[in-house]
Amino acid sequence: MNPKTNFNCWMSCAVIVLGLLLSVTHRVEAQSHATARKQATKVQAFRVGYLVSGEGPVLKDAMMIVKKGKIVSIGKNLALPAGLEAIDLGEDAWVFPGMVNCLTQASVPNDLKEPRDAIDLDNKSLSVIVAGHRDFDLLSSAGVTSVVVMPDAHGVVSGIAAVVKTNKGARPVTEAGPVALALTSTTQKTNRFPTSLMGAFQLLGQTLSKPQSPILKAVAENKRASIVRVNTEAEVRAFLRIANTLGVKCAMATDGSIALRRALGQIKEPMAIILPALSLASHRRAQLMPALLEKKSHQVAFSSAMPGRSPEDLRFGASLAVHMGMSRLAALRAVTKNPAQIAGVGKRIGTLAKGKDADFIVLSGRLLDASAELQQTWIDGEQVYKRSSPTAGANK
């Protein structure tokens, strides 16, 4: 076969594969639209033994009414609309807000992660998310109902992150996702500026002090959510210098707990800090970091950087943080309320309250108890996961 024929065959295969991908995407989008139409008139009531809203005390023998995927009311002995029967989730069951994972690259194909310019607001995660990807099944089966999908840290302004639900349609929670910033070594290239951390520091500082676009202006004025990735002590200190000088309130995501500990004295006021979910393999200093940050009034959020780590790590890591001195409330909020606020969508998700999305999970016990089993996951009032009965599985 000559090279020209070989090339034509390759192109034909590529067109076929692209067509199949588009077909799947259109099918998923059609299902998503059908679900949305169904939700338009749907009213539901749920009854559960214990409900934890994330804002107040545990509510026993609770009821929750949902309409069009939104929570209408939460309380005890609520009056139900005529003819509506409550869905009984179990008198021993516990309902919690769905968890939010605020630092992932779920479903994003590796071959789309191309090098970018140092400042690139056109790099939007929402445009490369694969709806219906298996990653979302894994996330929802672990109790994660929303994720922040970050672009690669190729530039000091790496792009726009996406905040999406983990149902089949991967519906966006907002079109205005957090702006992704970075000072990590991945931002430094040999063929363009910056080529060093000092250059990255100067470029990011200039970009935020004299923003050239409405989006960056909103970040500089703290009117748009943003997340900066830093790892080494030098990177942490460089960003804190920018934040302290310009007054930028940007969430800081770091894998370097020891580096962060050394730079804590440079933080002038409480800030949002994203840490990797703890594991038994984590250094003891890393395991103690969440409790230390809570003591200093910082807003802590945990992330399970999928696909590198399992979404199950999010809940386990929060439980381990409690074992190492973090309060239960702070650990709960680190996987629910705090990441939602960091992503700029705290008015819609992260807690259970009137007017918020009906994203919740049902467990056999408390969320941070290792013995508690996740039984169900609900997103926008629709059940997306139900744990199989061991007995039923044995009989198959």
pLDDT-wise least confident of 7-11, 102-106, 351-355: 7-11
Q: Which CATH architecture has domain 99-342?
A: Alpha-Beta Barrel (3.20)
Furthest-apart CA pair in the chain: how many Å? 77
Domains 43-97+355-391 and 99-342 are alike in CATH topology: no
Q: Where are the domains of the chain?
A: 43-97+355-391, 99-342
Residue 9's pLDDT band (cuts 50, 70, 90): low
Residue 213: predicted pLDDT:
97
The Cα 293–Cα 261 span in angstroms is: 9
Residue 389's pLDDT band (cuts 50, 70, 90): low
Mean pLDDT of all residues in 314-321:
97
Model pLDDT for residues 364-373, shown as the tens digit of each residue? 999 999 999 9
Q: For the chain, how many residues are written?
A: 396
Under CATH, what is the fold of the domain 43-97+355-391? Urease, subunit C; domain 1 (2.30.40)
pLDDT-wise least confident of 7-16, 248-257, 288-297, 314-323: 7-16
Model pLDDT for residues 179-228, shown as the tens digit of each residue? 999 999 999 999 999 999 999 999 999 999 999 999 999 999 999 999 99
Q: Which residues contact 219 (CB under 8 A, 6 or more apart)?
A: 179, 181, 208, 211, 226, 248, 250
Model pLDDT for residues 276-300, shown as the tens digit of each residue? 999 999 999 999 999 999 999 999 9
pTM, to two decimals: 0.88
Average pLDDT, the chain: 89
User: What interhelical angle do 284-295 and 312-323 show, nearest 10?
Assistant: 70
Give the sign of the dihedral formed by CA 13, CA 18, CA 23, CA 28: positive
Mean pLDDT of all residues in 152-172:
95
Give the helix, strand, coil percentages of the chain, each rounded to 5: 35, 25, 40
Model pLDDT for residues 50-92, shown as the tens digit of each residue? 999 999 899 999 999 999 999 999 999 899 988 899 999 999 9
